[in-house]
Amino acid sequence: MLLVLACAACSSSHAHYENAAAPHTAQGFQNNYLDQPMVGSLLKWQWERLRDGLPKAPANHYQFPLAQPDLAWLKNNHEKTSATWIGHATVLVQLGGVNILTDPIFSERAAPVQWAGPKRKVPPAIALDQLPHIDLVLISHNHYDHLDRNSVLALNAQPGGAPLFLVPLGLQQWMNEQGIRNVQELDWWQSLAFHGLDLHFLPVQHWSARGIHDRFDTLWGGWRVATNAQNKKPFSFFFAGDTGYSKDFADIYQRFGQVDLALLPIGAYEPRWFMKPQHVNPDEAVRIHQDLHARQSLGIHWGTFELSDEALDEPPRALEKAVNAAGLHANAFIVLMHGGMLHF
């Protein structure tokens, strides 16, 4: 992520998407409601981190407890709805007999190379070769902690055939260049049907880049997945990927109504002067939960990679305070241990 942030001021040439629903200019894709620069001074942030000795080690000295997901049950489950947090923004959702994986990252580092960059502090709760056969992979954007080349290549080569990869507008070319062909890119508000599920790619507030000349070249967003009208057990979930707080979530509710489960980021939010446009803090995550009228939300994007200044174990404590301050039931917005499972 730091490599990407270092590119924030770099210029680039951009492809043209004249008919895109997402705002697009000569400078690339834009957010719907942001009226300030997406990324502030990287050098100032890094100097403050060095000066203040941040981030501080968590109280548990990085010894995060791990749950033991029932791998046999996951492999044999074709009926019940479940969600298993593997780590960071990687969640295995089983819905309508379809195995869905969000932003898979199983590598040791969230970086273009495996000898430098943010190092994983907690191993994946499920290894790649322990997963059930994955039918569908949802990618929110192309930052290295959300689009990991080694992981998507491994999934593409899984026994039984490649999953369908759904990616934001502009990313299909990159996927094809990696040899991944079973891929489809979507613009904001576009949808498709897949094995009894209706999927929509929706706007959130973030940005994209993988190198020094491609900032805003490809789109970013969240995914809403719902069983279709023929399903006798209706269920829907929303996966936000990475996002700052914006009116986009009220817009999503206005169009689709309530969601059963929201997978919302709660980590990588300090310092606020730098992170606020791109990463919500737990207070803002609770506001998203309320904007979506989610029946339940699960906090993700914390406790795995040290990407910002708060201690790695701080987000759950801050979330508990935010939930209480909002007057919500304790189970309305929860966190799990790495490997924790929800059944619906």
pLDDT in tens, 230-242: 888 899 999 999 9
pLDDT of residue 16: 65
Residue predicted with more confidence, 25 or 88 = 88
The answer to whether the CB of 58 falls within 8 A of the CB of 311 is: yes
pLDDT above 80 (res 184):
yes
Residue 226 domain flag:
yes
pLDDT of residue 153: 98
Going from the C-alpha of 285 to that of each of 21, 31, 124, 177, 182, the distances in angstroms are 25, 18, 24, 35, 33
Residue 21 domain flag:
no
pLDDT of residue 256: 98
pLDDT above 80 (res 207):
yes
Q: Domain total for the chain?
A: 1
Residue 236 domain flag:
yes
Residue 81 domain flag:
yes
Structure tokens at 1: 């992520």
Residue 55 domain flag:
no
What CATH number corresponds to the domain at position 92?
A: 3.60.15.10
Residue 64 domain flag:
no
Query: CA angle 33-40-168, nearest 5°?
Result: 50
With bands split at pLDDT 50, 70 and 90, how would you rate the model's confidence at 14? low
Expressed in percent and rounded to 5, the helix, strand and coil fractions of the chain are: 20, 20, 55
Residue predicted with more confidence, 117 or 37 = 117
Distance CA(304)–CA(307), nearest Å, equals 9
Q: Are strands 261-265 and 236-239 parallel, antiparallel or unpaired?
A: parallel
Residue 40 domain flag:
no
**Per-residue pLDDT tens over the stretch 19-46:** 788 999 888 999 999 977 777 788 999 9
| Prior bond of 23 cis (ω within 30°) | no
pLDDT of residue 3: 45
Residue 57 domain flag:
no
Q: At residue 75, what are phi and psi to the nearest 5 degrees?
A: -70, -25
pLDDT above 80 (res 8):
no
Reported pTM: 0.95
- Owning domain of residue 87: 2-8+70-343
Residue predicted with more confidence, 12 or 135 = 135
pLDDT above 80 (res 15):
no
pLDDT above 90 (res 116):
no
**Per-residue pLDDT tens over the stretch 311-327:** 999 999 999 999 999 99
pLDDT of residue 11: 36
Question: Which residues make beta-bridge pairs with 168?
Answer: 186
pLDDT above 70 (res 2):
no
Residue predicted with more confidence, 6 or 60 = 60
